[in-house]
Homo-oligomer: A and B are copies of this chain.
Amino acid sequence: MDNFYALIMAGGGGTRLWPLSRKSRPKQMLPLVEERSMFQMSVERLDIPPERIFIVTGREHVEMLHEDVPEIPIENYIVEPFGRDSGPAAGLGIIHIQQRDPEAVVAILGSDHYIADTVKFNRTLVAAHNLATRGHIVTLGVSPSYPSTGFGYIKRGEQLDVVEGFQCYHSAGFTEKPDGDTAIHFLTTGLYSWNSGMFICKANQVLNEFARQQPAMYAQFEMIAHAIGHAEYDDTLGRVWSTMKKISLDYAVMECADNMVVIPVDMGWSDVGSWSSLGEVLAADLDGNVSQSHGSAHIKIDTKQTLIVSDRMVVTIGIEEIVIVDTDDVLLVCHRDRSQDVRQVVARLKDAGDDTYL
């Protein structure tokens, strides 16, 4: 698997984990689940050597990320001039990897998700590499643990093969975030997986999909690719990027790609997309309480189902299903069921033109 590369998308912000995640310290930089940052965990769980791990991120984050994970060579950091969603970001990363190795197989991965069973994850990558080499685009489908309306789904069709012990299926299509009834239906059929956004395929093949489905974007990637290694690279990238379409990778090419294959896998994956979902990933005490304290004491009296994120001494008495997130300058106290509404607060602060706390 010497031609196996990882492309880690590390551009996002993650306003749902405000006030811990900020513009200047986005979610992937936070030590949410362990003492290590989510980005460190994303890199270190991979059975792929650092020289073959590429990072796409914004200019403002490169230095911080490189300090966080110095083993990845600085030339493997691919800088987006500014965020254009995951379609352009993935394309940019892939043309760089393809220049390095025209035969590259690339695993396109997130930088801020949690995977409990890293052994199984890497075994799945081996299976996916096998299938990608045979001309498939592989997506890892997460076995849904509840009828989520917050994820897209992918339906499996005919079985293609069993590789490394994993059942692999032809894709029967992607579905956007469903309503509650549809989500329940999906789960009862047993045919649907969550779309985790993890794709494994030949670099060439995803570029061919761009050429077929997004010819304008493909032409733009070509211009950038020609400039790689030349003095005009930054100028070209900046010029091309300013007219680049803002579109997700799924929309741009994956949802309608040929030869899509899904490997359904249960590996304890979580997007840690809200305070509530962080609570599900961390180890709870007997009362269902979860603490992320980095060493400080949290004294809980008659406290249940509560998540506390704080590096200070926190005392709770007589509370239930509360999320407490305590940062240097902002304190959030929120009902666990309302943790998605944190985005509203961020939006409100943005609207007010006050970026002190953003």
Which residues on A are within 8 Å of B, measured CB to CB? 19, 299, 301-302, 310, 312-319, 322, 324, 326, 329-335, 337-339, 341-342, 344-345, 348, 357
From B302, B315, B338, B357, give the contact of A333 (CB < 8 A): B315
Q: Are A331 and B312 in contact (CB under 8 A)?
A: yes
Inter-chain CA distance A245–B67, complex, in Å, is 64
Inter-chain CA distance A67–B311, complex, in Å, is 33
Q: Are B341 and A331 in contact (CB under 8 A)?
A: no
Q: Do A330 and B313 form a contact, CB below 8 Å, given A299-B345, A341-B301, A344-B301?
A: yes
Q: Do A345 and B312 form a contact, CB below 8 Å, given A331-B326, A333-B322?
A: no
Having A314-B331, A317-B342, A326-B326, one finds 18 other A-B pairs with CB under 8 Å, namely A301-B341, A310-B331, A313-B331, A314-B333, A315-B330, A315-B331, A315-B332, A315-B334, A315-B342, A317-B333, A317-B339, A317-B345, A318-B334, A318-B337, A322-B322, A324-B333, A326-B331, A333-B333
Closest to A320 in B: B335
CB distance from A312 to the nearest CB of B (A): 6
Indicate the member of A19, A299, A314, A317 with the most B CB atoms within 10 Å: A317
Q: Are B341 and A19 in contact (CB under 8 A)?
A: no
CB distance from A278 to the nearest CB of B (A): 16
Q: Are B299 and A312 in contact (CB under 8 A)?
A: no
Residues of B near A19 (CB, < 8 A) are 313, 315
Q: Are B329 and A312 in contact (CB under 8 A)?
A: yes
Q: Do A316 and B330 form a contact, CB below 8 Å, given A299-B345, A301-B345, A338-B302?
A: no
